[in-house]
Amino acid sequence: MKTMNASFFLLLALGVSFAIPSFSVRAQAYPTKSVKIIVGYPPGGSTDVPARIVGQKLAEVLGQTVVVENKPGASGNIGAELAARAAPDGYTIFWVSIGTAVSASLFPTLSYNLFKDFVAVSQATSVTSFLLVHPSLPVRSVQELINYVKAHPGELSYSSSGTGGSPHLAAEWFKARAGIELVHVPYKGTSPQTIDLLSGTVKVAFPTMPGMIEHVQQGKLRALAVTSPKRSALLPDVPTMIEAGFDGYVATSWSGAMVPTGTPAAIVQQLSVAINQVLAMPDVQQKLATSGADAVGSTPEAFKAFIEAETLKWGKVIKDAKIVNQ
C-alpha cells in the first residue's frame, strides 16, 4: 500500500483548505458557505490526520470548502470548548476522539458536557493498540507475561505516551483483569516513549499501532496480542486479547464527527450521510490505513451509543485505577 507523500503532509501541516465540488448529497439550503472542522490536537497527530483525510473528500461531497482548524491544549478540551460554543448551524464540526470521551473522568471542572453540548454525527476511524514487550523479556504470549510478572514482583514497569490516553487505559484494564502489578511510566508523547521502549529501559507497553508496527516487523519489539475484536491484517499471526483469554477485551482509539447541540436534525443526517459516503471511498480507506486507522462509519444514533459505552467503560477503569490528570 502506498504511503502519502511528503507534499501531502506539508499541505496538512499548513492547514490547507479543501474544495472543488465533484458530486453532492446537498440539500438545497445547506451548505451555502465553508464548513469548519475543529481538532483539539496539533497538526499531524493521530486525531488530526484522519480529520484532514476525511475533510478533503467531504468538501467534494458537500460542494463547499472544508477547513480544518487545530485548537490544541488541555488534552483536547480547548478545542471541545470552542466547538461547544459555536453556532448550531452545521458549519462547525467537532472532531471528537477517545481522549474527549474520557475527559469528564479526568477533569472535574470542564466547561462543557460532551453529551449535553454536542450531537453525534458519525464515527470515522478506529485504531488498534497492541501489547508489546522488549525482545529481552523471555515471554512470547500474554499468559507467559502474566506468569513472569507474578514471578518477578516489582521488576517490570510499563510505559505510555501520556496519562489518560488509550494506551494508558488499555494497560490499566489489562492489569486489573490479569491481577498483576506494573508501575506506570508516562512519557510526554510517543517519541520519547518509543526510544526507551526500543532500548529496553521500559519493557512493556500498549501503544497504538501507527509508528510502532514497523519496530515489530523489524524484530525490535515483540507483539503478544492486539486489542481489536479480530486479528489485524498487518499482524495476522498475533492473537487478539480475546483469544488470549480476556473475554470482551477491546481497547481501540477512535475519532469521529459531532456538532453543537441545536443543529437541525436534517443537517445532522446530511452530514452523517456525507461522511459515510467519504469513508466508503477506496482511496480514503487506503489513506486512513496508511496512517494506521480503519475507516468505520456509522449512523448518529449508533455513534452516540458507542461514545456513551466508551465513556462508561473507560470511566470505570479510571475510577478503579485511581487515575488522575497530571
Is there a single domain that holds both residue 97 and residue 78?
yes
- Yes or no: say if 258 and 119 are a contact pair by the CB < 8 Å rule: yes
**Domain termination residue (choose one: 226, 243, 276):** 226
1 inside domain = no
The average confidence (pLDDT) of the chain is 89
Residues 254, 76, 172, 143, CA torsion sign: positive
Structural domain count of the chain = 2
- Give the domain CATH number at 92: 3.40.190.150
154 inside domain = yes
pLDDT at 108: 83
Is there a single domain that holds both residue 25 and residue 120?
yes
Is there a single domain that holds both residue 32 and residue 59?
yes
Strands 118-128 and 130-133: unpaired
Is there a single domain that holds both residue 17 and residue 109?
yes
- Give the domain CATH number at 214: 3.40.190.10
Is there a single domain that holds both residue 12 and residue 121?
yes
- For 232, which DSSP code? -
Express as a percent the part of the chain with pLDDT over 70.
91
pTM assigned to the model: 0.82
- For 19, which DSSP code? -
Beta strands in the chain (DSSP E): 35-39, 66-70, 92-97, 118-128, 130-133, 157-160, 183-186, 204-205, 222-226, 252-260, 294-295
Higher local confidence (pLDDT), 41 or 66: 66
Is there a single domain that holds both residue 158 and residue 53?
no
Higher local confidence (pLDDT), 326 or 181: 181
Range of the domain at 22: 6-127+252-321
Express as a percent the part of the chain with pLDDT over 90.
74
